[in-house]
């Protein structure tokens, strides 16, 4: 119960942080000319009323363009099968293996039944990879149904803390509409729980149930925030803003060179 309350507290704090920039964005968009003058980056070729929708509520210096279906598919492939999926699963499995050694009750809900050794490590790696695969599949599928854009876009801001805030806010929000305004995202919030519910009900020992899946979902939501921090500060894969942070070897391997 303590871990559940901690998970709810983390979600509540994150939603509170999200509400602040959303409120500011709404008040700015309602004020007309001041908000538009802060975000307009291209010469104006049409009356202000026809151009404001493409420039308000996006990062400074960036005009939002909705991703194509091909772009969504490439991003899904990166999130589900890219380097973070394998590295994250390998690291998490190692931590879980160490935590369950001689511990009959693991607070993160990872079955101690799987024991120790390389076979057990392989089972945990496969489980964590499967949780991430279900999570990303659920996120992109629900986003498609709800017309949300859950792709992670690197922040155009500068400074460590603004970029951290952007990454954490992106964990529970998505973009919607042609102007790319931010909304609280059911897809982003529900997908981590879908991944752990699948594990608890499909391949964990029979004594695990839906409540265990929900409890583990709190951890998975935090992991998604950590992945966004990695996308922001380390390497962002084939995402729109990667052209501003080009990593030659990785970008060539994923087809995400500048201009893509």
184 SS3 class: strand
Q: Are 201 and 136 in contact (CB under 8 A)?
A: no
pLDDT of residue 145: 96
pLDDT of residue 238: 64
- Tell the residue number behind the tokens 């309350």, with chain if given: 5
pLDDT of residue 116: 84
pLDDT of residue 122: 93
Can you list the residues of the chain whose pLDDT is less than 70? 1-62, 101-109, 238-260
pLDDT of residue 175: 94
Residues 6+ apart with CB under 8 A from 57: 25, 29, 179, 180, 181, 182
Helices (H), ranges, the chain:
2-30, 33-39, 48-51, 69-81, 83-100, 118-146, 160-171, 186-198, 210-233, 248-254
Residue 18: burial class (beta carbons within 10 Å; 0-12, 13-18, 19+) = buried
pLDDT of residue 104: 52
Q: What is the pLDDT of residues 152-177, one digit of tens each?
A: 998 888 889 999 999 999 999 999 99
Domain boundaries, the chain: 2-23+68-254
pLDDT of residue 140: 97
pLDDT of residue 85: 94
């Amino acid at each position: 119960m303590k871990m559940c309350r901690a998970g709810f507290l983390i979600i509540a704090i994150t939603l509170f942080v999200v509400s602040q920039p959303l409120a500011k964005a709404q008040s700015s968009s309602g004020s007309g000319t001041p908000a538009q003058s802060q975000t307009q980056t291209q010469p104006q070729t049409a009356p202000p009323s026809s151009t404001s929708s493409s420039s308000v509520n996006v990062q400074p210096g960036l005009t939002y363009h909705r991703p194509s279906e091909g772009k969504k598919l490439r991003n899904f492939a990166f999130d589900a099968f890219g380097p973070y999926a394998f590295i994250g699963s390998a690291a998490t499995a190692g931590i879980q293996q160490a935590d369950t050694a001689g511990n009959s009750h693991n607070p993160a809900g990872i079955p101690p039944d799987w024991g120790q050794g390389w076979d057990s490590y392989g089972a945990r790696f496969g489980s964590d990879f499967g949780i991430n695969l279900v999570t990303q599949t659920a996120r992109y599928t629900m986003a498609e149904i709800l017309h949300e854009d859950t792709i992670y876009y690197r922040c155009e801001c500068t400074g460590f803390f603004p970029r951290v805030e952007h990454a954490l806010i992106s964990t529970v929000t998505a973009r919607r509409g042609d102007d790319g305004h931010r909304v609280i995202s059911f897809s982003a919030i529900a997908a981590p729980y879908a991944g752990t519910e699948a594990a608890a009900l499909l391949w964990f020992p029979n004594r695990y149930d839906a409540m265990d899946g929900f409890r583990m979902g709190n951890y998975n939501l935090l992991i998604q925030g950590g992945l966004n921090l990695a996308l922001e500060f380390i390497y962002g894969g084939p995402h729109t803003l990667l052209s501003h942070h080009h990593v030659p070897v990785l970008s060539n391997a994923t087809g995400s060179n500048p201009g893509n």
